[in-house]
Chains A and B, each alone.
Chain A
Amino acid sequence: MYEFDFGQLSFLIGEIVLAITVGELLLIGVFARKHGASIVRYMSIAVLLIFAFSGFVFNDPGTAFDGAFISDAFSHYVKALIGLSAAAALWFSRDWFKQEGLDQYEYSILMIFAVLGMGIMVSSGNLLTMYIGLEMQALALYVMAAFNRDSLRASEAGLKYFVLGALSSGMLLYGMSLIYGFTGTLSFTEIGAVIGGGDNMSAGIIAGLVFMLAGMAFKISAAPFHMWTPDVYEGAPTPVTGFFAAAPKLAALALITRLITGPFGEMQHSWQQVIIVLAVMSMVVGAFGALTQTNIKRLLAYSSIANMGYALVALAAGGAAGVTGMLIFMSVYLVTIVGVFAAILQMRTREGALEGIADLGGLSKSNLPLSLILTILMFSLAGIPFFVGFFGKWSALAPAFDAGLIWLVVIALLSSVVGAFYYLRVVKVIWFDDQAHEFVKPVRSLAVLSSFAAILLFPVLWLPFVSAPALALIETAAASLF
């Protein structure tokens, strides 16, 4: 008879807490009529923070369910970032949804479900776990994109995301079935063992790997699988877009990292080509696509495509150095994106929220703090020295340079120069254009969040007593994969 080992549940304590709370919050939301949305939101933020730090508190590496669920330093670090950025996204969604009359408790529930799915994804040690986690987060994200269902654009965004997401799931599943067919196992370690030293590589395994990477590229919106991104980012409610640009990207990148370091670690020359193609196309599409945009959410969509390209450059280098570079880059990117969206949500006049870049015109005359914050964030995104974004980009490109992919680094630098143009254009509009609008006084939570991100990016993360422990944490996380 099979003996169920209850001790292994300690490895997924964070996920269990999320799963139990989500059920309770559903009941609370149904019965607490008047303040239901607020109560559920604050409890959700609390439970997301618990989830973020659970990995560090119960810091024991190990696997559960016959290796299907991995708990290691890598998953702890990534889950901490995911939990924190989701909590921030929930926090900055509060006032927007209230002002738009959409304040429903289900939004927090969907957010927890999405984070739960991402947690399962990041910890997956088995094709089945991976797929279940991926679908859970994707399903929650589809609904969140269409959350403002009375808006034509939000419904279109949700539908588009759903159809293309289903297509990518199909590709992913096809790849998985090929891998399963050619190796005869679902477990990552056993797949790695079958592939061995790269001698047993059949065409089927390579085809499966390529299909899986293509399916994952949809999730991180790497070109040429990026077509949904601008429309979905523009159509979805702004706080939702802020969430989309941060946590799900990191979760999918972490899953790609797990795949290419774990089961397919011996096939570097196969996946490296795919990653390099994705990286080059994403950087170029992201840089040139953003040039003509007038809507700031579309601009950030192309910016996120380009940034995924830089993260993939780090991964293409392979090895612990590449993973470290990717994690540093993504950590900085997440801080920036949370700050940028907290700042964009403050673009609101009496008539409603604004999204045009031109609407920022002359902001420096009417709202100096917000213009300073946006300037710092844009400089950091552009990777201008002395802002932490520069360090993030440096860490992403350095491993690739060391691995001999010099031409890839050159393309990354060139597209970064093109990218700097449109980030700096936003800064120019803010400081030198005529005043377009007088924004209403921002809510305190948004002001606090955006200035917090800006202060982190301008001097705080440079301070040695902050950056040294963070770097040590990231290096341990990357080392735990090898």
Chain B
Amino acid sequence: MENFVEILPGLTFYTLSAVAVAAAFMVIAARNPVHSVMYLILTFFSAAGLFVLMGAEFLALLLIMVYVGAVAVLFLFVVMMLDVDFVEMKQGFLQYLPIGGVVACILLAEMIMVGAASLVNPGESVKYATGGTSNIEAIGNVLYTQYAFFFEAVGLILLLAMVGAIVLTLRKRGGVKKQNVSAQIARTREGGVELVDVKPGEGIGS
């Protein structure tokens, strides 16, 4: 048992790394784009586990929240943009159970291993900066002070990215019918109705 506790962090590291590499390979090897996204999530998850092992729990959280969160959106895009046949996919639902189950089991095992590694060796895996401040606190202390310039400049890049995306995609479409409420209300009988005196036998020629 002593032995096992000692090798646990190393074992966790190699498991996580191997899974990350294998899943990254499967991202490009999988035929179904939806499977690729699943493997991508697995890759991110393993990388997050590696961050926890290094004592960077803030980065691990970011990776899961931002990437896995963003990947969920990406997943939606894939499903919407690609011509994925849902009927066919639903028919094979049970057929996909094994592969989904394998991914889920690996995720579960990874979480348990990371948790166990930090429990048995508290000083080893999650390291605190001097003064007992956690990672998140330490980053918060410098992000808006010493690194304010970088923070603001990166914010400007995001604004620029937004402007650029809108410039390249927003187009004014001709022939779009919009409701103009004030014009509708301002309509009078004179403008809307025309009385024509029709003579018998002639009709209304234009």
Contacts and interface: CB of A to CB of B under 8 A. Distances in A.
Question: Does chain A bind chain B?
Answer: yes
Interface of A: 2, 4, 12, 19, 22-23, 26, 64-66, 68-69, 104, 106, 109-110, 113, 116, 120, 128-129, 132-133, 135-136, 139-140, 142-143, 146-147, 149, 158
B142 A136 contact: no
B141 A139 contact: no
B195 interface: no
B94 interface: no
Most chain A CB atoms below 10 A, which of B141, B161, B164, B166:
B164
Given A2-B141, A64-B149, A132 B164 contact: no
B164 A110 contact: yes
Interface in B138-163: 141-142, 145-146, 148-150, 152-154, 156-157, 159-161, 163
Q: How large is the interface on B (under 10, 10 to 19, 20 to 34, 35 or more residues)?
A: 20 to 34
Contacts of B142: 2
Q: Which 10 A-B pairs have the closest CB atoms?
A: A143-B164, A2-B145, A65-B149, A106-B167, A113-B160, A132-B153, A136-B157, A149-B168, A139-B160, A128-B150
Contacts of B166: 106
15 contacts: A2-B146, A4-B148, A23-B159, A65-B146, A68-B150, A110-B167, A116-B156, A129-B150, A132-B153, A136-B157, A139-B157, A139-B160, A140-B164, A143-B163, A143-B167
A104 B167 contact: yes
Contacts of B163: 26, 106, 109-110, 113, 143
Contacts of A132: 150, 153-154, 157
A142 B164 contact: yes
Contacts of B141: 2
Nearest to A4: B145
Given A2-B142, A64-B149, A65-B149, A19 B156 contact: yes
Contacts of A116: 156
A104 B159 CA distance: 18
A131 B197 CA distance: 78
Contact of A66 (B146, B152, B167): B146
B130 to A, nearest CB: 16
B180 to A, nearest CB: 16
Nearest to A65: B149
A23 B163 CA distance: 11
A136 B160 contact: yes
A135 B167 contact: no
Nearest to B156: A19
Contacts of B167: 104, 106, 110, 143, 147
Contacts of A158: 168
A135 B157 contact: yes
A128 B146 CA distance: 13
B156 A113 contact: yes
B3 to A, nearest CB: 33
A172 to B, nearest CB: 16
Contacts of B149: 12, 64-65, 68-69, 129
Most chain A CB atoms below 10 A, which of B146, B154, B157, B166:
B157
A129 B157 CA distance: 13
A120 B153 contact: yes
A140 B160 contact: yes
A227 B145 CA distance: 42
Given A19-B156, A110-B167, A139 B150 contact: no
B162 to A, nearest CB: 10
Contacts of B154: 132
B157 A146 contact: no
B146 A136 contact: no
Contacts of A68: 149-150
Contacts of B160: 110, 113, 136, 139-140
Contacts of A140: 160, 164
Nearest to A155: B168
Interface in B166-186: 166-168
Contacts of A19: 152, 156
A66 B146 CA distance: 8
A72 B160 CA distance: 27
Contacts of B150: 68, 128-129, 132
Contacts of A26: 163
Contacts of B152: 19
A26 B119 CA distance: 52
A188 to B, nearest CB: 15
Interface string B116-127: 000000000000
Contacts of B146: 2, 65-66
A68 B149 CA distance: 9
Given A142-B164, A158-B168, 12 more contacts: A19-B152, A19-B156, A65-B149, A66-B146, A109-B163, A110-B167, A113-B160, A132-B154, A132-B157, A135-B157, A143-B164, A146-B168
Contacts of B157: 132, 135-136, 139
Interface string B4-28: 0000000000000000000000000
Given A2-B142, A68-B149, A129-B150, A139 B164 contact: yes
Nearest to B141: A2
B161 A139 contact: yes
A120 B159 CA distance: 16
Nearest to A2: B145
A275 B113 CA distance: 50
A18 to B, nearest CB: 9
Contacts of B159: 23
A172 B157 CA distance: 18
A9 to B, nearest CB: 9
Contacts of A146: 168
Nearest to B160: A113
A65 B157 CA distance: 19
Given A68-B149, A106-B163, A143 B156 contact: no
A139 B154 CA distance: 12
B153 to A, nearest CB: 5
A139 B167 CA distance: 13
